[in-house]
Amino acid sequence: MSGKKNGERAPASGGCGASVTNDAMPAEKDRPPADRAAREKKSSHVKMSPDEAAKRRGAPDDANKRYCAKALPDNGSTPRDDRICNNVGLVHACARRFLSRGVEYDDLFQAGCVGLIKAADGFDESRGLKFSTYAVPVILGEIRRLFREGGTVKISRSLKELSMRTVRARDSFLAREGHEPTMNELAALLGIETEAAAEALCAAMPALSLTRGGEEEDGDEIDVPVDAPEERVTDRLALRQLLESLAPADRELMVCRYVRRLTQQQTAERLGMSQVQVSRKERALLMEMREKLTSA
């Protein structure tokens, strides 16, 4: 029978359902509001404005453009300058990899900018590489060099290598013996002088800032322990009283040794004594004065 309406089809033979023509699909205006909102949201993710697309591709933002405009000479930009300005974002991306490693972000960014400039100077277009492919290893190399050679206190490379050996030897001794090694033991392990081992350990210690930069310390200043001037005045007065209480010969001996800075032999010649007598008398007087000062 042909009594079916126009636009309808007969069910396909052997199929499990009927095919629907375009007339059976609802028009956009007939769709529910929720469906239209979902389609509009989906299309907004696909379509972007030219500015958004340029920003997603890594084009420099207005801040970088203004910075480059101030830094570059007034006679116009060159391809090298354009590479530097257009790829400042690479420096930020590389610097973020080294956050929370004891170096300020500004220092990381500064070292990365040095690497970016070196990459712009050494880039060769004839090799067929993109500038970003060439620049990223150079930028990372400059930042890593900051960790190797940087620091608040600049030390020589030999001392830095010795400090690393000293720290490894100290940690190995601690794990093996269960206690910290003395300077003599550490120097014997490394085969160096005791003074060199102490200097190497000091070089490995981080520098202490007198102002706390973290928010947890509220930016308070660290108090550096120093001797109070009143204590020095008190000690000098007590020492003068002790010298005045000594016999004239004993007082002259102490003045020659610790005020005039004479040797024991020179003091002996001046006082008509032998060097051994001066040494014994000096030791006895020092012990007596020390006891009086500590007991007061």
pLDDT in tens, 268-277: 999 999 999 9
Indicate if 162 and 138 belong to the same structural domain.
no
83 belongs to a structural domain: yes
117 belongs to a structural domain: yes
77 belongs to a structural domain: yes
Question: Under a CB-based contact definition with an 8 Å cutoff, are residues 86 and 60 in contact?
Answer: yes
Lowest mean pLDDT among 54-63, 95-104, 137-146, 222-231: 54-63
173-186 mean pLDDT = 89
Lowest mean pLDDT among 5-19, 60-74, 265-279: 5-19
Indicate if 138 and 178 belong to the same structural domain.
no
For tokens 């003599």, name the residue. 184
Mean pLDDT of the chain: 75
- Number of structural domains found in the chain: 3
9-37 mean pLDDT = 47
How far from 132 is each of 35, 68, 108, 109, 233, CA to CA, in Å?
42, 18, 18, 17, 67
68 belongs to a structural domain: yes
125 belongs to a structural domain: yes
Indicate if 66 and 140 belong to the same structural domain.
yes
pLDDT at 21 (0 to 100):
45
- Nearest 5°: CA angle at 30, between 27 and 32? 120
Which amino acid makes up residue 108? Answer: L
12-20 mean pLDDT = 43
Q: Tell me which residue of 217, 210, 208, 110 sits closest to 153, measured CA to CA.
A: 208
**The CATH number of the domain where 170 resides is what?**
1.10.10.10
> What's the domain range around 199?
157-204
> Could you tell me the pTM of the whole model?
0.36
pLDDT at 117 (0 to 100):
92
Indicate if 101 and 162 belong to the same structural domain.
no
130-158 mean pLDDT = 81
197-220 mean pLDDT = 67
Domain boundary among 149, 171, 193: 149
pLDDT-derived band of residue 15, with 50, 70 and 90 as boundaries?
Answer: very low
151-170 mean pLDDT = 80
Indicate if 126 and 170 belong to the same structural domain.
no
Indicate if 67 and 137 belong to the same structural domain.
yes
5 belongs to a structural domain: no
Domain boundary among 129, 149, 169: 149
Percent of the chain with pLDDT over 90: 24
